[in-house]
């Protein structure tokens, strides 16, 4: 597909609001938005130049590319498969880019559904959080055909610093699962390390510069370790979303016979935090599940 002009963005939440905003910086693009909560879409059109659609059907009419950024599988299925949804109303030869973190099964199902209608599909979950979306420097893991990825890349580049084509449809979601497993492990290690340091009366503000430049260093250490030690947990990606993501991963692990027992332990700890009312804390609140905190 050449000369993409009409782009529809569906889902103006924590991530999507800024991502859609970055698209307006390209004066050639005509941006239409739709959001389940209309007041959020109205706020977006007050801040950025674009068209507010009153329905999904209206939003995808004549769209060259439709971009989704929703919450979970059920949200995406409602947006795509409802009577007035994307699948029934999108034009042939259009492209759908789904930035939602979903299950592998749903990504494959969507690819088949759109292929039957001669519509391209790219599953493209994101990493980088709200700050990455605001700054336009997200990392994208993509699954789909070479042709569809080629079309998607210059559009996604409006809000991403890297776009990695991992494989066929569904492989973007599989890569995101690996990403979340690794984050869970790092945060559990940080939680243990910080608790150990506290019990030894080590000054955390002296400790972190000493170890962050070595093999223990990570983005989580640089950006979350100090606030974890201070029990400050209002920095972006909420626990409830991590539980959703890890749930998809654990389901897939059962299907391919992968032992993710450590990840399951972290998943259970996050579930406990939700039950105790901490679902809106960011994922670094995992430390609260350590004995002694």
Residues labelled catalytic = 176
> What are the φ/ψ torsions at residue 133 (nearest 5 degrees)?
-70, -45
Contact 33, 20 (CB under 8 A): yes
Nearest to 239 by CA among 265, 266, 214: 266
- Note the residue count of the chain: 293
- Residue 98: CB partners within 8 Å, gap ≥ 6? 67, 68, 76, 107, 110, 121, 122, 123, 124
How would you classify residue 93: left for phi > 0, otherwise alpha for psi between -120 and 50, otherwise beta?
A: left
At 171, is the secondary structure helix, strand, or coil?
helix
Alpha helices in the chain (DSSP H): 16-23, 38-47, 56-60, 73-81, 86-89, 104-116, 129-135, 146-156, 171-199, 204-212, 219-229, 239-255, 261-275
* Pairwise CA distance, residues 172 & 162, whole Å: 13
* Pairwise CA distance, residues 289 & 293, whole Å: 7
* Pairwise CA distance, residues 193 & 203, whole Å: 12
Distance of CA 83 to the CA centre of its chain: 26
At 15, is the secondary structure helix, strand, or coil?
coil
Query: Residue 156 burial by CB count (10 A; 0-12/13-18/19+): exposed, middle or buried?
Result: buried
């Amino acid at each position: 597909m050449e000369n993409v002009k009409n782009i529809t963005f569906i889902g103006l939440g924590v991530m999507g609001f800024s991502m859609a905003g970055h698209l307006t910086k390209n004066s050639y693009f005509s941006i239409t938005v739709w959001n389940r909560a209309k007041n959020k879409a109205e706020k977006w059109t007050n801040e950025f130049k674009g068209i507010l659609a009153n329905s999904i059907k209206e939003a995808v009419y004549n769209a060259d590319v439709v971009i989704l950024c929703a919450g979970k599988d059920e949200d995406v299925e409602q947006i795509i498969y409802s009577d007035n949804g994307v699948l029934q109303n999108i034009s042939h030869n259009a492209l759908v880019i789904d930035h939602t973190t979903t299950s592998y099964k749903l990504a494959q199902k969507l690819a088949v559904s759109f292929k039957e209608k001669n519509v391209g599909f790219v599953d493209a979950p994101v990493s980088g959080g709200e700050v990455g979306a605001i700054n336009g420097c997200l990392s994208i893991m993509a699954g789909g055909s070479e042709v569809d990825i080629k079309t998607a890349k210059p559009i996604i580049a409006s809000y991403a610093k890297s776009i990695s084509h991992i494989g066929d449809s569904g492989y973007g979601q599989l890569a995101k699962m690996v990403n979340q497993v690794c984050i869970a492990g790092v945060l559990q290690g940080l939680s243990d390390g910080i608790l150990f340091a506290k019990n030894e009366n080590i000054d955390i503000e002296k400790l972190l510069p000493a170890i962050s430049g070595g093999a223990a260093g990570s983005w989580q250490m640089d950006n979350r370790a100090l606030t974890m030690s201070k029990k400050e947990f209002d920095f972006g990606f909420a626990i409830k979303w991590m539980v959703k993501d890890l749930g998809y991963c654990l389901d897939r692990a059962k299907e391919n016979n992968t032992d993710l027992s450590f990840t399951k332990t972290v998943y259970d700890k996050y579930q406990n935090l939700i039950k105790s009312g901490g679902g809106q804390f960011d994922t670094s609140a995992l430390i609260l599940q350590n004995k002694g905190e």
